[in-house]
Structure 1
Amino acid sequence: MAIEIEDKFDVPAEFAVPDLNDVQGCAEVAQPLSHRLVALYFDTADLRLASRGITLRRRRGGDDDGWHLKLPKAKGARQEITLPLTRGAKVVPPELADLVLAYTRGAPLAPVAQLETRRGVTRLLGDGGDLLVEVADDRVKGTVFGEEPTVRRWREVEAELKDGDEGMLKRVGKRLRKAGASPAGSASKLARLLGDIPARQVAEPPAGSAGAVVLGYLRKQVDALTAQDPRVRRAEEDAVHQARVASRRLRSALKAFKSLVTDTDDLQQELRWLGEVLGEARDLEVIRERFSGRLDGLGPSLVVGPVRRRLGDDLLAREHDAYGRIRQALSGDRYFALLDGLDRLVANPPLTPLAGKDAAKTLEKIADKGWKGVADTYDGARRIDDAEQREIAMHDVRKAAKRARYTAEAVGLPEAAKRAATVQEVLGRHQDGVVAQEVLAQEAEAARQADEDTFTYGVLVGLERADAERAHEEFPGVWATLA
């Protein structure tokens, strides 16, 4: 996987790449290279990938033969995943086909276009001969497949950052513009070849209305969820966590804003299912890292027996199994139906008349209601005499605080969000300690059955209990300050 940072330019047929020897930071311009590249692009019949800014191609020629999957651009960079060339030219490798399932949703992938490029390459080198920036001057012939194939020809220039800094990339771009280049009108060659892809028609509530704010937030979370999908399938760092957060935010928003957006009970239920699917691996990851830190903090004499294996390797194996179940769920019809439902929701939301009201007044009332829910839940918990039942009720306080935080963030009330986050954090430390004790009890029993020493498990339970009790004792004072 690579992160690609580049600037694209449209140029006239007579354009000449300027002399770049004196660009600040460049020690030498290497001898030019030339390549002939042939790229076959794959998509669904209705161009689901192209409409999302995704390209999937098989390219021959140059120094990067192979399959290339480019995911949507974010913060100036695109994530590119590459695989070696396969024998079959018209069958997408399963690994790449899986990574775009959130967009294709099971629809078949087939060749939709071909680009033949004659490329001249100018390479800017540093003092040590390292490649800083590469400038590609491309003469392109593009063919769109169909009953009557269409052909287009054009020329463009691309400056790609290699081992240089972004300041140097800007200086190169400035020199190219001075020579007659202009910022590209299309994000990619494929987009230029295919032309305007019909955008999906979406409803737009009046600007400044409560519905406009809520819909903007929902769309942001749907985009975040689908953007994390390929990363989750590759088990990239923090991907499962971010995907679960997006699903939780969506579910929380649909519940909090039910007076503005109606008929979302089924979607809420399916988002809860997705959160549970993602949660197993995430919870194992968190608890494994927690125990690793605990063990590292103990003296060697306190770590007895194969406790690191049980709390490390064994939990990691369970985590890998959980990832397998995630991939299976993300490749199934239930997940695709959920994504279809979310797309329909943000394209044409079932808004109530209240959604047309002024955003500030309407949404602040909803956020206040969310905080009142936290206070009411805590008041109820304090009235419970049974310790075990009160513990369950305090967990409900934490969940109410999380919903209140998400609601406040959605409507742009940072102070309210911070207040709810404080409640969530303190009660979260208590809950994490309780859960950790339960896992330790299970692992200690397994160790006991295997005739292993369980002393260290007892030490860890003591630490977790102390942390949980400390958070429990802190909370009334924290609440008094917040309330």
Structure 2
Amino acid sequence: MKDVVERETKWEVDREFTLPPIDDIVPGGRVEETSVELTSTYFDTTAHDLLTHDLTLRRRAGDDESGWQLKVPQADGRVELVADWSDDMPSELADVVTGAALGQQLRAITTIHTLRNRHRLLGPDGDLVLELDDDVVRTTPVDADADALAWREIEVELGPHTDAVPALLVDRLAEAGASRAQYPSKLARAVPKPGAPVPASKAERAIRDYLTAQIDTIFAGDVALRRGEDPIHDTRVATRRLRSTLRVFGTVLDRSAVDGIADELKWYAGLLGAVRDCQVQRSRLAAQVGALPPELVLGPVAARIETTLLERQLAARAVLAEAMDSPRYLALLAALQSWKPEPPFAIRSRKRELVRRARRAARKADKRLAEAMRTGRDDSLHRARKAAKRARYAAELHRPVRKRAEAKSNIKYYKRLQRVLGDHNDGVVSAEFLWRTATAAGTAQGENGFTYGLLYANEKHAAERARTAVAAVARRR
């Protein structure tokens, strides 16, 4: 299986559209023209769960494009995962979409036939600048009650070193009668997504949009994790934002629909956290060892720290991977998926209610911080950090609808507070790890605990500096 980054734009044209001149779009270049017939069968669940997350899985037959392709959205376009032709769906592609499909069976949902007139614009050096495809499209629905469609479109795909469609080409397409397509893909046109219900109020829209953003991040993280990538941090933050929203604004939601979901999000965040904490400590302690004068690093300190934490990280990653195939995890995703079109509101929410609950979260965070500063206990500072996160996330949610200046100020303050409290927590966790590692190293042949003790003292000092910084942030409130 290989990956190909795809960056393309689509243009709607009518049957009588005449392609404008393109041979001078690339100065000193040339145009290669070929024609190909493509037959693509698309696969999804009965409820089109892949399409919900802009995932496209197809088996394509064509002169030079035969095989299986899975298209995954990313920031600068889509990455296309390609596998060789086979009658059966390749397991390496099916596994990637297990979570997005909610563990359900995938089936053919439509077939799209394309007669493609391909124009490859090459630069003076022969490198591909872009490909312009003039496509005549016809669909053959699998379901008997679905309508067959036919249309023509222009597709412009950028070459690997091209940043944008040349302005001259854009102007010529527009002058010839082409317009930007309203559908991002042929499949989206053939099988359009159902429209989401319109929220009854701006407050409900704010809640829906915030929940949807976190759910989308969790599903995107699921796909990335199954591809072997590292979206641990962003996915963990999304689960925390989602759980915080249920806690702060939960009274406006139907308890029968959300009961237990917060606990499941906590469970999943814990699995992600076990991996992420090792990543953070590996980076932090490697930097700490690297900053010491060489004469103070006695024995294989860096190697022992790295090996110990990496072993823990790999074990935690294995546990996470196993959990992601469990009925428990897939049930969590199914519940979150059901909230995307319409969250389970119990009562009509209003803007002032969002502000009131956000303010309540802020007061609780301030109270927790005051208690932590009074006692100086590590566990109290940790609770204050979690409360600061909830206050920040609550401000993020209500910012679009009311009291924007207040929300912006709270986001900035609680983000800063969260950061310094996080520094304190990292110092505490690192110090504990170093103490335990020192006790093992101190009795191992060829090692001693001197450097670990030095690092331990540094982490204790770092935690104390962070504690002082917390007080400084609070005074500037």
* TM-score calculated relative to the size of structure 1: 0.88
8 A contact 1:211–1:260 mirrored in 2: no
Task: Please say if 1:404 is aligned against 2:391.
Answer: yes
The AA in structure 1 aligned to 2:454 is V
Q: 1:283, 1:459 → 2: CA distance?
A: 22
1:119-134 alignment runs, 5 A limit:
119-134=116-131
Q: 1:169 offset after TM fit, Å? A: 4.0
Q: Which residue of structure 2 aligns with residue 329 of structure 1?
A: 323
Q: 1:149 offset after TM fit, Å? A: 9.2
- Structure 1 residues 203, 328: CA separation in 2 closer, same or farther (over 3 Å shift)? farther
% identical equivalent positions: 35
1:248-397 alignment runs, 5 A limit:
248-263=240-255, 264-353=258-347, 355-357=348-350, 359=351, 361-384=352-375, 390-397=377-384
8 A contact 2:130–2:157 mirrored in 1: yes
Task: Please say if 1:18 is aligned against 2:20.
Answer: yes
Question: 1:342 is paired with a residue of what secondary structure?
Answer: helix
Q: Which residue of structure 1 aligns with residue 453 of structure 2?
A: 458
Question: 1:32 is paired with a residue of what secondary structure?
Answer: strand
Q: 2:374, 2:95 → 1: CA distance?
A: 51
Question: 2:251 is paired with a residue of what secondary structure?
Answer: coil
8 A contact 2:39–2:113 mirrored in 1: yes
1:433 counterpart (427, 430, 434): 427
Task: Please say if 1:43 is aligned against 2:38.
Answer: no
Q: 1:350 offset after TM fit, Å? A: 4.4
8 A contact 2:41–2:110 mirrored in 1: yes
Q: 1:282 offset after TM fit, Å? A: 0.9
- Structure 1 residues 474, 55: CA separation in 2 closer, same or farther (over 3 Å shift)? closer
Question: 2:357 is paired with a residue of what secondary structure?
Answer: helix
What are the Cα deviations for residues 365-405 of structure 1, in whole angstroms up to 9, with x where unaligned? 22222221122223333454xx6xx2211211111111111
Q: 2:165, 2:340 → 1: CA distance?
A: 40
The AA in structure 2 aligned to 1:400 is A
Task: Please say if 1:9 is aligned against 2:3.
Answer: no
Where structure 1 has 5 or more consecutive residues not aligned to the other structure, the ranges are none
Q: 1:116 offset after TM fit, Å? A: 3.3
Q: 2:315, 2:34 → 1: CA distance?
A: 48
Q: 1:103 offset after TM fit, Å? A: 2.3
Q: 1:148 offset after TM fit, Å? A: 8.6
8 A contact 1:32–1:121 mirrored in 2: yes
8 A contact 2:158–2:164 mirrored in 1: no
Q: Which residue of structure 1 aligns with residue 403 of structure 2?
A: none
Q: Which residue of structure 2 aligns with residue 243 of structure 1?
A: 235
1:78-117 alignment runs, 5 A limit:
78-86=77-85, 88-89=86-87, 91-117=88-114
What are the Cα deviations for residues 380-431 of structure 1, in whole angstroms up to 9, with x where unaligned? 33454xx6xx221121111111111111111111111111122212221111
Q: 1:123, 1:219 → 2: CA distance?
A: 39
The AA in structure 1 aligned to 2:326 is G
Q: 1:419, 1:65 → 2: CA distance?
A: 54
Q: 1:369, 1:147 → 2: CA distance?
A: 54
Q: 1:92 offset after TM fit, Å? A: 2.0
The AA in structure 2 aligned to 1:104 is A
Count of residue correspondences: 465
Cα RMSD (Å)? 2.6
What are the Cα deviations for residues 39-78 of structure 1, in whole angstroms up to 9, with x where unaligned? 2321123332234432101223354443211134x66x43
Q: 1:119 offset after TM fit, Å? A: 2.2
Q: Which residue of structure 2 aligns with residue 31 of structure 1?
A: 32
Q: 2:51, 2:326 → 1: CA distance?
A: 23
The AA in structure 2 aligned to 1:477 is A
Q: 1:287 offset after TM fit, Å? A: 0.9
Q: Which residue of structure 2 aligns with residue 228 of structure 1?
A: 221
Q: Which residue of structure 1 aligns with residue 68 of structure 2?
A: 67
Task: Please say if 1:157 is aligned against 2:154.
Answer: yes
Q: 1:472, 1:424 → 2: CA distance?
A: 12
